[in-house]
A and B are shown apart, each in its own frame.
Chain A
Amino acid sequence: GENVEQHPSTLSVQEGDSAVIKCTYSDSASNYFPWYKQELGKRPQLIIDIRSNVGEKKDQRIAVTLNKTAKHFSLHITETQPEDSAVYFCAASSPGNTGKLIFGQGTTLQVKP
């Protein structure tokens, strides 16, 4: 089955710097790649997603890039702010258009003021 690896597990940056989180997936048939943010004690919430027919997508300070050949995708956060501190999860759709997602293990991002 599909497997998603996420790196790094923890990331600490200074406010204003950029942060990059990377994920790899195993099944080339996956076609949907969302990113979720989970603040401490709260539920995960979608922040950005990308489908396999697109190579890059941006939304203000966040962007996601997808390399289908290499089977990896990345989250980029620019001009980081303390409120970006959270756990970020990548996910890949399970092949077969079932709607099922396989999640990475998460990255704890700390933005130091």
Chain B
Amino acid sequence: GAGVSQSPSNKVTEKGKDVELRCDPISGHTALYWYRQSLGQGLEFLIYFQGNSAPDKSGLPSDRFSAERTGGSVSTLTIQRTQQEDSAVYLCASSLYGEQFFGPGTRLTVL
């Protein structure tokens, strides 16, 4: 079956612009996660959606970051007024029980 997909795979933007990153989780997975991975670094938790519950936004680094999950499926991570320090790979994962399945990531470069 299809795995987690993300788009775009690469995004280059100018400082100050807004960007939207999309995640399509595995069908039927109730949980969806966003992580940020800077070059050579670990997986930094950003936000977590579980079913119809309020999302856990405790990892969002600033109010420039927001995310939505529509209809319990597709999710969009929005970064407003991008800064150079936002440059990283943004990974999405979904799960049903336990194991998280990761997407290929979106590499964001802010010039």
Instruction: List residues of A whose CB falls within 8 A of some B CB.
Output: 1, 32, 34, 42-46, 49, 89, 98-106
18 A-B interface contacts by CB (under 8 A): A1-B58, A32-B98, A34-B99, A34-B100, A43-B102, A43-B104, A43-B105, A45-B102, A49-B98, A89-B42, A98-B48, A98-B50, A99-B95, A100-B48, A101-B33, A102-B45, A103-B35, A105-B41
Q: Which of A1, A34, A45, A98 meets B98, CB within 8 Å? A: A34
Report A-chain residues with C-beta under 8 Å of the C-beta of B50.
98-99
Q: Considering the complex of A and B, which 5 residue pairs feature the smallest CB-CB distances, nearest first?
A: A43-B102, A105-B42, A103-B43, A99-B31, A106-B42
B25-57 to A contact mask, C-beta < 8 Å, 1/0? 000000101010000011101001010000010
Count B interface residues, CB 8 Å. Answer: 21
Q: Which of B35, B95, B99, B104 has the most CB of A within 10 A?
A: B99
Interface Cβ pair total, 8 Å cutoff = 48
Report B-chain residues with C-beta under 8 Å of the C-beta of A99.
31, 48, 50, 95, 98
Give bound CA distance, A49 to B100, whole Å.
11
Give bound CA distance, A24 to B75, whole Å.
32
Give bound CA distance, A103 to B37, whole Å.
11
Give bound CA distance, A8 to B43, whole Å.
16
Does A103 contact B45, Cβ atoms closer than 8 Å? Answer: yes
For the complex with contacts A89-B43, A100-B33, A102-B45, 16 further pairs of A-B residues with Cβ separation under 8 Å are: A43-B91, A43-B102, A43-B104, A46-B99, A49-B99, A98-B50, A99-B31, A99-B48, A99-B98, A100-B45, A100-B56, A101-B33, A103-B42, A103-B43, A106-B41, A106-B43
